[in-house]
Structure 1
Amino acid sequence: MSMLTPSGMGGKYRITGNAYPRMRRPRRRGRVVAVVVASVVVLGLFGWGSLQLYHVFKGDNGSKSSAQAGPQSRTTCKPAPTPTHTGKPAPLPQPAGVTLNVFNATPRGGLAKNTADELVRRGFKVSAFGNAPGTYDKKVTQSAVLVAGPAGEAAAREASTQVAGSTVTIDPHRKGTSVDLMIGNGFKSLATLSDAAKARVVAANPPPPKPVCTTVSASPSPSKK
């Protein structure tokens, strides 16, 4: 047997020339299986991500979460009610065109006279001052209440600019344009001239009425039987 004869061939074959038989390595099946599994995992992750993006853009997540959360409250707003008066509010008169009656509805003494004197210095007309009638005496908790009839509504708004935190009450049965200023327990002093000027701008341009909003709780739908 020649030295060039591969072992195991029994000396039947000789290698001649420059070509030699090549022996292939055994295939590694484990590597092929790993590659296939990795490809399946990658494709699965890609498909899952695409599905999630589809739901996000479609808005399914929000609708599902809302459905799972149960009935939700719903707020509806109606337009503001139409004012009972027509046109714009009456323009505010100048202080010289407002006649006041200054009454003290607190236990403190001297408030009516001192306040009346200061209002006169600011240009208002004061017809009378003294203790408040029983309807208001020691019953006014805020700084002041200004009482007037329908004809004195603009005059009452003008006078209210002099007392911060005051309110205006319209008595439909009252005649004339005079205004009663009832000084309450919350009164400390008249507003400064600058604050009164700012309050006059607000009183002359009242804000528009706000819309009426109501919140309704959605009741759960009855179960089917």
Structure 2
Amino acid sequence: MGGKYRITGDKYPRMRPHRRRGRLVVVVVACGAVLGVAGWGTLQLIDVFTGGGGTATAAGTGCSTKATKASPAASASAAVAGAAPKPAQITVNVFNATTRSGLAKTTADELKKRGFKIGEVGNATKQYDKKVAGTGILLGPAASLNTSLPVLATQLTTAERRTDAARAGTALDLIIGNQFNGLTSPTASVKALSALAAPQPTATTKKGC
């Protein structure tokens, strides 16, 4: 400009952005951070009260589904319960692998009282004679693993279970070992049999809205 209002010198006025705009940006960022933290906290509370990551929302329904898995032990019991025969359907051979005489006969007689069929009774073969350190061995064909073998195991719960894929027939062997002091008590055996026969819980899916 000229005349009276002419500007002289090398300094010129500078245009600065309005300070209020900067404050507005700071306020918007702060509000976003607060909302984010509040949302995260809400999700954490939902996880605490609903059981965490096992929950999924069904699309378009607004309902949640939660899968519950059965334990391995329960799954095995369920498999046995579905095919477990009764003691009267199981033939048991009783063999004595100890140096104590008469154990095979007395054990066979007790198993007969408990409803099992009795096959051979006598001394164990050389493969097992005086070689069974525990209370006993329950031996059967491969197909007996989840059927008749668990049923016989209720009568001597501390015995080792074995299967032989080459074994023919369905009969089981109870081979008495050095630590044998008698069969499991009748009360405990009946309870164990009842547990095998009882229906077991399986994996289920829970839904909630």
Please report the TM-score for the alignment, with normalisation by the length of structure 1.
Answer: 0.50
Instruction: Tell me the residue number matched to 2:157.
Output: 164
Runs of at least 5 residues in structure 1 that lack an aligned partner in the other structure: 1-79, 208-225
Instruction: Tell me the residue number matched to 1:26.
Output: none
Give 2:137's aligned amino acid.
Answer: V
Distance in 1 (CA, whole Å) between partners of 2:196 and 2:99 is: 30
Instruction: Tell me the residue number matched to 2:44.
Output: none
Instruction: Tell me the residue number matched to 1:32.
Output: none
- Per-residue displacement from partner, 1:16-44 (whole Å, max 9, x unpaired)? xxxxxxxxxxxxxxxxxxxxxxxxxxxxx
Distance in 1 (CA, whole Å) between partners of 2:196 and 2:178 is: 23
> Is 1:88 aligned with 2:79?
yes
May I ask how many residue pairs the two structures share in their alignment? 124
- Per-residue displacement from partner, 1:139-186 (whole Å, max 9, x unpaired)? 111111110002333212111111131121011111221001000111
Give 1:161's aligned amino acid.
Answer: T
Contact 1:151 1:175 in 2 (8 A): no
- Per-residue displacement from partner, 1:91-129 (whole Å, max 9, x unpaired)? 321110000000001110000011111111111000110
Instruction: Tell me the residue number matched to 2:142.
Output: 150
Contact 1:143 1:164 in 2 (8 A): no
SS of corresponding position for 2:79: coil
Aligned-pair distance for 1:198? Answer: 2.7
Q: Pairwise CA RMSD of aligned residues?
A: 2.5
Give 1:100's aligned amino acid.
Answer: V
Contact 1:151 1:176 in 2 (8 A): no
Give 1:139's aligned amino acid.
Answer: K
Contact 1:147 1:169 in 2 (8 A): yes
Give 1:104's aligned amino acid.
Answer: N
Name which one, 1 or 2, has greater alpha-carbon Rg: 1
Distance in 2 (CA, whole Å) between partners of 1:202 and 1:165 is: 17
Change (3 A) 1:97 1:185: same
Distance in 2 (CA, whole Å) between partners of 1:139 and 1:123 is: 29
Distance in 2 (CA, whole Å) between partners of 1:138 and 1:203 is: 32
Runs of at least 5 residues in structure 2 that lack an aligned partner in the other structure: 1-70, 201-209
Q: How does 1:1-225 map to 2 (within 5 A)?
A: 88-89=79-80, 91-153=83-145, 154-201=147-194
Relative to total residues, which structure has the larger helix share, 1 or 2?
A: 2
- Per-residue displacement from partner, 1:23-73 (whole Å, max 9, x unpaired)? xxxxxxxxxxxxxxxxxxxxxxxxxxxxxxxxxxxxxxxxxxxxxxxxxxx
SS of corresponding position for 2:175: strand
Aligned-pair distance for 1:199? Answer: 2.7
Deviant stretches of 4+, over 4 Å: 201-205
Give 1:182's aligned amino acid.
Answer: I
SS of corresponding position for 1:96: helix
Please report the TM-score for the alignment, with normalisation by the length of structure 2.
Answer: 0.53
